Amino acid sequence: MNSNNYCVIMAGGIGSRFWPMSTQKFPKQFHDILGTGRTMIQQTFDRISQMIPPDNIYVITNQEYTDLTHQQLPEIPTENIVGEPAMKNTSACNLYMANKIANKNPKANIIVMPADHLILKEKTFLEKVQLAFDLASEKDYLITLGITPTRPDTGYGYIQFIPKKEESFSKVKTFTEKPSLEIAKSFIDSGDFLWNAGIFIWSAKSILSAFKKYLPEMTNQFNSCDYNCSAEKECINLIYPTVSKISIDNGILEKADNVYVIPANLGWSDLGTWTSVYTNAEKNDDNNALNSKNVLTYNSKGNVIRIKSQNKAAVIDGLKNYIVVDTEKALLICPRDNDQLIKDYVLDLKNLKHGDKFM
């Protein structure tokens, strides 16, 4: 293992599209969504710890989840679990962690990755990450892993690259946020677009230089803090309310001219919706994805069914292509085609009297 290589796991999201399993107090990255025996953040740690030692792995999350993170990842030093005082999108957390790691090791190379993604081809993933680390240590490159698309999906961002024969990486031409179905189809047909997985690799020096160039005000704000000392938390709490809320894609990657992509077929999913869980979960003979042996289905196909208690029986008759999620506080029953509306259901529930208790 190279002592200059570090990992930052981003684990601050609420995962409202996974309500009612995912709640503000216990969001989806801390759940075992696919029934593997390990939660999403634990699987992410298991994957990257094959090439990076726990002392070099950091988690940045909401301050509310630092204790929960420590409970699920006791292997990571407590000081490496960092709580943000507010949700400010991905530019702020990337700059914060780059400063913190560079303060310890100016020669650091960093992989930044979400806590809640599924990667089935782990060997391929590790090989691509090693290639990215090698490039980042030698070149002033900002590198992203681009997923080979399997369908014209409107739920993902896209990366257009400049193809080169027999090259394992390519220069990025454009980034596109979630497109319409028609545009997504044209991307797939063109052959020079990849899905944006939100997995980035760069040297601390390169990413800090990019922030200085493209987000100078934010850079100055974070430069006012001292890192890895007792004064860090107070300073971070002071500057965070004034920091711009902007993604790393919009703030840096869409503007920089040294962005490269490594195409990768990883068996990847961001597990962003209940339908994506259905796609990746084990299914019975009727194509129902169940999490309990105490669920009986009749005339029912294509459903994802999650029952909170193994002591509870459920009988489902006549449902096709539905989401059924039962928890201690709430019950969701909706068509799989409507999984993008779950965020709206949550907002409407919050408007009910005492609605927050169901979140």
What's the 3-state SS for 150-165? Answer: CCCCCCCCEEEECCCC
Question: Any idea of the CA torsion for 86, 255, 113, 245, to the nearest 10 degrees?
Answer: 10
Q: What is the pLDDT of residues 214-249, one digit of tens each?
A: 999 999 999 999 999 999 999 999 999 999 999 999
- Report yes or no: 49 and 77 within 8 Å, Cβ to Cβ: no
Could you give the CA distance from residue 5 to residue 50 in angstroms, rounded to a whole number?
12
Sign, CA torsion 196/274/280/149: negative
**Phi/psi zone of residue 348: left (φ > 0), alpha (ψ -120 to 50 degrees), beta?**
alpha
Where are the alpha helices (H) located in 7-139, listed in sequence order? 40-48, 66-72, 89-104, 122-138
SS3 333: strand
SS3 271: coil
Confidence (pLDDT) at 42: 97
Of 157, 161, 169, 163, residue with least CA distance to 195: 157
In this prediction, residue 359 has a pLDDT band, given cuts at 50, 70 and 90, of low
- Average pLDDT on 132-155 reads 92
Stretch among 134-148, 176-190, 193-207 having the lowest mean pLDDT: 176-190
Confidence (pLDDT) at 33: 87
SS3 278: helix
Q: Phi and psi for 309 in degrees, rounded to 5? A: -100, 130
What 8-state DSSP symbol labels residue 263? Answer: E
The overall average pLDDT reported for the chain is 92
Confidence (pLDDT) at 115: 95
Of 113, 148, 121, residue with least CA distance to 267: 121
68 pLDDT exceeds 90?
yes
Could you give the CA distance from residue 290 to residue 277 in angstroms, rounded to a whole number?
11
Full-model pTM: 0.92
User: How many angstroms separate the first and last alpha carbons of the chain?
Assistant: 42
- Average pLDDT on 300-312 reads 88
Confidence (pLDDT) at 167: 79
Confidence (pLDDT) at 130: 97
- Report yes or no: 251 and 96 within 8 Å, Cβ to Cβ: no
